Structure 1
């Protein structure tokens, strides 16, 4: 790779903050009012001086004023960082490639998304057959001047005549559902509001099933608790007021419900949940008898004890992936026409995690995860031996969607050093061929993806991915390193591409992703090991990951930064309090920072499955011990901290970050900055336009580089070792 010797040579002279960090002006934080709010909880007085910052910025002028003053300070600081504009330029360069979404086939038509490179939102296209001429169906870039109105989920009807899609505005979790006539390209008059956490499920070509909440009270749309979700049927051409209630549980307003329909249109499945735990009840509606029986939802699984993931249905037979009696999941089936319907095992539990499965053609496609990386297998419908699908190294495979009888399926494969490529697999021959591969401005082979294992505080072996340029790895000298983690809600962190991370790697830094307990990388046991009373294990794992990176000579001792979002923002806040000496910089994004009040806003009530109940004494004591807002350690030297949030985040309301940042700025924590970056017309992350993503990425990298000593090489030495050539189909 041309110029890497020069890059490394410059890097080794410039990896410590004392040598390289420019002198930054002293920060004058805005004055933030402190109120004498104190509550006695389980015998302990809990001060909450910044509770007034919980108010919705839209209806609270004093909060809006505080946001404006904080942003002025942060924007001034970030704009003064010498490398900020160059990082923005490099991120933009890495993002400027044509990329495609997976093909979805319906009625002989192929639907897919495409972004030409730097469009704020991907467009949706359709074509007749694989070789047909692409036709633009939806262009979200025309929906809002600031690009912040996004196409969210979409689903063609079975015959491909209609397209149901959801619209996300300003990053909110609320969705507006609309319908397009695919044949004419014209929108229908149908419009459904107050949908959230919903599936999109067609019932023939006549209408669709969706989930919604009651209309929020005035002023409560972005902060009010979400209760009484129910499934409705919307018939095309009718107003929302005439939608039919399909399934709801008014006697249990805390339950949520989502609908699916099998590919042959015979059965509708209602999946009910209580919180964020993968513990569900299932009900089935025979759509063939709907005119006679109405929306009769017969119980299939009760008890909220296990995970059930619908694979497919054919007639009145169903296939599911479940962890019932199988912590790492297995494939089961049930025949509803049997004299006594019972679940039968099709594929037994293995050491690897069975993430999902599909039925395409007359075969099963099973997606497994081993040590947080993907591999796939193809079996006969009875589960008998088939073949392993070869993937290109450590990465993540997704897709494998299709219908019984289809001759083909498509899947995507991505890793840290390469964006997603789309592959087509011929099910008859098993031959897999590239279908859409991006042309890139760099050589993926110039970057090394490793998987390492480290030992946590209690002796648990934890995996971690480490990514560096080959030149950095070969030099065997520590460099500024960015460590990322999440550790919660049964979420598995797997390899994936990020343009911002590539800009960091190109500059000579290392990136690490730790697969902490609390996630789903090793099934139910791994999740249980990092939640509730075991939450401290997650923080111990992350601290051990940082110590390992320093000990192994990957991260420079005074140049280790950490980053995490949402539950990962909580992670960053907690470990900074516990080990402020270990980190040079920390980025806490849209984090849950007040663990004693998280359950009082929007979707926060769901999170008690992972965190516990603040109003129960045993849980309160655990939460109080690590809550980032309540455990800031006055008098200790803290790393440089950048808190990020958004005014339309109605998942983790911005009050969490507002209060945390105010408390950081009030405390005596040393000379490094404690700043908050508050995005407007943005939410928890999804739907963010490209321009905003580039700006945020540049701000974060420039801030972290400032406090870890990473310096971009001169532009003349930035290397592009050639492009990865590939087809631009479809």
Structure 2
């Protein structure tokens, strides 16, 4: 579900509309894909562990609905029966995956592709610069601090020593304005729950306080003395990873005091379904409280005047009461605050709020054809990030919105970053693409000069790969963009192809670099990313066209992408694999049910797969803006028609399927994958394998140690390669 890891990183200024290689060729209907002719002996499908079936049938809105595997909704940590079942499933899948030809070679190549120095975007506080660094093969990146741009650097935090298996991770980290203290969040075993700790930057001494039960929180410093953060009430013991969450409030913590002394700053006890986060303007004058009721891009905004009294006694004011529009706080100076909003502008615009008298709004930068994805106030400039076809574009303006220059990256890729504060003379950003690992750049805002700050040294030549974007027609004629990546030497040949998609929650899928994906490309496969409806590539209308009763458009778009790849001779017939995670896992499982003939193999990862009960667990209630409410008949009827768990087609040959999840996933609970895999294995859908792989001490994706990433990547790619006919048996020699 929505989170940095569902978009493969933080928000990107992305390329989503048109680019070099644009084509509008129409895909012709194709014959069902035949199974690939495997050049190696067929590996026998393992005997699945026995799965107890409940005689459970419930009647809803005039229909009887069976749910024989509801007992698998229990956590393996609390149910010995579920834990034993998971162990049996893992044993069966591990035995099968170990036999796959080329699996070990893939693991070795993925490890080699990860073996390069990775540095994150720097964050400046006072005269210090903070950034993550990984020499290549560490399970977790270390946090460094550097005294000045060219000064001496040192390790401030090394999470590799926090656990033996590398599953305790450093998540967010925010230095105080002058860089004296750093607050950071700790993630355990992939859970969405976070613990906040503090460290004295100069001495490296960990402070005593520990703040628990933070989840999806910001950290907003109020001077050097304390900060605002969000937390939930402590859940009941044993319900931490299953129960729905309510009552997220903003608290103030003073450095050097226990959590019990924290002050409640903003809460809505009469509306516990609302969740609240805080940000603070660069000059420390205002705290901006952003309130949400779900994952839809609609928010309410309130202000706290931080100069009006002591913490907990700050004067409050509402500037956007209703949940009607999206508001993204940019920054503020004095009585002026800036927001990116879609109020009256579906593709967003930059607004200024003047609080010197009666609150008054004015447009600083009007809406334009491209979608305004975000903005930063740095120095005496705005840097506006737009989604613009296959190239990332950032526009620099003065504080009145007058453009001064455009930062155009001519290659297809994603630029992100552009952080900083008013008064600073520099900003940092990164550029990445499917064939290019992130390069960090520093821009001098006084001169406009851009210089590399950190350049990766890769073991392959990016120019050997062609990245293009095409538009293809969906079922209803809508033109949908899709990125296609492959070796230049393979252009003109149909090859095994991996198609990826997401299509939900107003999230734009943009070009990013993945060593796991690169191993697939090196082996001679093609990769395609379809920007289907439901995502955030083209603003509100594109999102609305793929949610609620229009969710089928997302599935139709994805199916049409597969048909196009085959019709255009990019994907070999019978050699198309599909993959997606979270909402993308739902996508993959739904299209496999609807068109099992089109795909040779599928990997629904951490997917939402029981659409009639998704809202009963953890954050599931927040997703009803995209999916609808199962208690409403009209929504239920739509959900029932495509729910993967409920629509497996007996008597139809299915592709090979590897279902993957983590046992600590408390965002999309693993029960979805458990129940779906059990239903697949019980159905009469052919003799290809339908396996479940459950990662131990892993969650929805974030914080996973490198060793686990490599192992899961190798297993998944080897499975998809085997069933698409991609030969991966020999390791690729690095140049």
After TM superposition, the score normalised by the length of structure 1 is 0.95
Shift of 1:324: 0.6
- Displacement of 1:26: 3.5
Alignment of 1:135 onto 2:154: yes
- SS of the equivalent of 2:310 reads helix
Task: Report the Cα offset of residue 341 of structure 1.
Answer: 1.4
| Secondary structure, aligned partner of 1:20 | coil
In 1, Cα distance between the equivalents of 2:446 and 2:225? Answer: 34
Alignment of 1:364-443 (within 5 A): 364-371=382-389, 373-443=391-461
Paired position in structure 1 for 2:705? 689
Q: Which runs of 5+ in 1 are unaligned?
A: 1-14, 722-730
State the match for 1:175 in structure 2: 194
Please state how far the C-alpha of 1:118 moved relative to its aligned partner.
Answer: 0.7
The answer to whether residue 531 in structure 2 is matched with residue 506 in structure 1 is no
CA distance in 2, matches of 1:196, 1:390: 36
- How far does the alpha carbon of each residue in 1:11-38 deviate from its partner, in whole angstroms, 9 at most, with x for none? xxxx983241432023211110000111
1:603 aligns with 2:622: no
Which of 20, 33, 50 is residue 52 of structure 2 equivalent to? 33
Q: How do 1:247-646 residues align onto structure 2 when only pairs under 5 Å count?
A: 247-291=266-310, 294-338=313-357, 340-371=358-389, 373-473=391-491, 476-646=492-662
User: May I ask how many residue pairs the two structures share in their alignment?
Assistant: 702
Q: What is the Cα-based RMSD across aligned positions, in Å?
A: 1.2
Q: Which residue of 1 aligns with 2:14?
A: none
1:282 Cα offset (Å): 0.4
Question: Given the alignment of the two structures, is residue 656 of structure 1 paired with residue 656 of structure 2, yes or no?
Answer: no
Corresponding position: 1:237 with 2:256: yes
Q: Which residue of 2 aligns with 1:188?
A: 207
Q: In the aligned structure 1, how far is the partner of 2:503 from the partner of 2:528?
A: 14
> Displacement of 1:386 after TM fit?
1.3
Cα distance change of structure 1 residues 714 and 74 upon mapping to structure 2, 3 Å threshold? closer
User: How far 1:250 moved relative to its partner?
Assistant: 0.6
Q: Is the 8 A contact 2:213 2:232 kept in 1?
A: yes
For 1:477 and 1:398, locate their aligned partners in 2 and report how far apart those are by CA, in whole Å.
34
Change (3 A) 1:196 1:526: same
The CA deviation at 1:265 is 1.2
1:155-204 deviation digits (Å, cap 9, x = unpaired)? 00001100000000000000000000001011101110000011011111
1:104-253 aligned within 5 A: 104-253=123-272
d(CA) in 2 for partners of 1:78, 1:131 = 48
Tell me the distance in 2 between the aligned counterparts of 1:326 and 1:646: 40
Alpha-carbon separation, structure 1, partners of 2:390 and 2:323: 26
Displacement of 1:392 in angstroms is 4.4
Q: Point out the more displaced range, 281-290 or 417-426.
A: 281-290
Counterpart CA distance in 1 for 2:164 and 2:512 is 30
Tell me, yes or no, if the aligned pair for 2:434 and 2:511 is still in contact at 8 Å. Answer: yes
The alpha carbon displacement at 1:218 in A equals 1.3
Distance apart, 1:428 and its partner CA: 1.0
Alpha-carbon separation, structure 2, partners of 1:652 and 1:292: 36
Quote how far apart the aligned CAs of 1:297 are: 2.3
SS at match of 1:18: coil
Q: CA deviation at 1:278?
A: 1.0
Moved more, 284-293 or 83-92: 284-293
* Within-5 A mapping of 1:664-683: 664-683=680-699
Aligned mate of 2:91, from 42, 52, 72: 72
CA distance in 2: counterparts of 1:19 and 1:507, whole angstroms: 16
Aligned partner of 2:28 in structure 1 is none
Cα distance, 1:443 vs structure 2: 0.5
Contact 2:102 2:729 survives alignment (8 Å) = no
Displacement of 1:359 after TM fit?
1.0
Whether the 8 Å CA contact 2:183–2:198 is kept in 1: the answer is: yes
Check whether the contact 1:371–1:521 (CA below 8 A) recurs between aligned residues.
no
User: Which deviates further from its counterpart, 385-394 or 297-306?
Assistant: 385-394
Deviation at 1:713, TM superposition (A): 6.2
SS for the counterpart of 2:210 is strand
Question: Aligned partners of 2:363, 2:721: CA distance in 1, in Å?
Answer: 52
Partner of 2:722: helix, strand, or coil? helix
Q: How many Å apart are 1:561 and its aligned residue?
A: 0.2
2:107 corresponds in structure 1 to 88
Query: Is 378-387 or 552-561 further displaced after alignment?
Result: 378-387
Structure-1 separation of matches of 2:566 and 2:51 = 37
The separation in 1 between residues aligned to 2:403 and 2:314, in whole angstroms, is 39
**Cα distance change on mapping 1:293 and 1:232 into 2, 3 Å:** closer
Aligned partners of 2:263 and 2:311 also within 8 Å: no
- The 3-state SS of whatever aligns with 1:365 is strand
- Asked if 2 retains the 8 angstrom alpha-carbon contact of 1:17 and 1:706, the reply is no
3-state SS of 2:592 partner:
helix
Q: What secondary structure is seen at the aligned counterpart in 1 of 2:482?
A: strand
Secondary structure, aligned partner of 1:288: coil
Name the SS of the counterpart of 1:440 in structure 2. coil
What is the rounded CA distance, in whole Å, between the counterparts of 1:346 and 1:503 in structure 2?
45
Structure 1 residue 719, shift from structure 2 partner: 4.9
Assess if the C-alpha contact under 8 Å between 1:27 and 1:673 holds in 2.
Answer: yes
- Does structure 1 residue 708 correspond to structure 2 residue 724? yes
Counterparts of 1:545 and 1:478, CA distance in 2:
15
> Would you say the 8 A contact 1:371–1:463 is kept in 2?
no
Q: Structure 1's 293 and 680: CA in aligned 2 closer, same or farther, altered over 3 A?
A: closer
Alpha-carbon deviations, 1:312-337, whole Å to 9, x = none? Answer: 11112101100110000100001111
Q: Structure 2 CA distance, aligned partners of 1:365 and 1:237?
A: 36
Conserved? CA contact 1:162–1:180, under 8 Å: yes
Q: Please report how far the alpha carbon of residue 536 of structure 1 lies from its aligned counterpart in structure 2 after TM superposition.
A: 0.1
1:636 and 1:208 map into 2 onto residues whose CA distance is: 57
Whole-Å separation in 1 of the counterparts to 2:733 and 2:383? 40
Paired with 2:390 and 2:551, the residues of 1 have a C-alpha distance of 20
User: Residues 670 and 276 (structure 1 numbering): CA distance in 2 closer, same or farther, change over 3 Å?
Assistant: same
- Contact conserved, 1:478 with 1:556, CA < 8 A, in 2? yes
Report SS of the residue matched to 1:257.
strand
How many angstroms does 1:292 deviate by? Answer: 9.1
Contact 1:372 1:492 in 2 (8 A): no
For the residue of structure 1 that corresponds to 2:307, the secondary structure is helix
Q: In 1, are the aligned partners of 2:45 and 2:96 still within 8 Å (CA)? A: no
- Residues 264 and 312 of structure 2 are in contact (CA less than 8 Å); yes or no, is this contact kept in structure 1? no
Query: Secondary structure at the residue paired with 1:31?
Result: coil
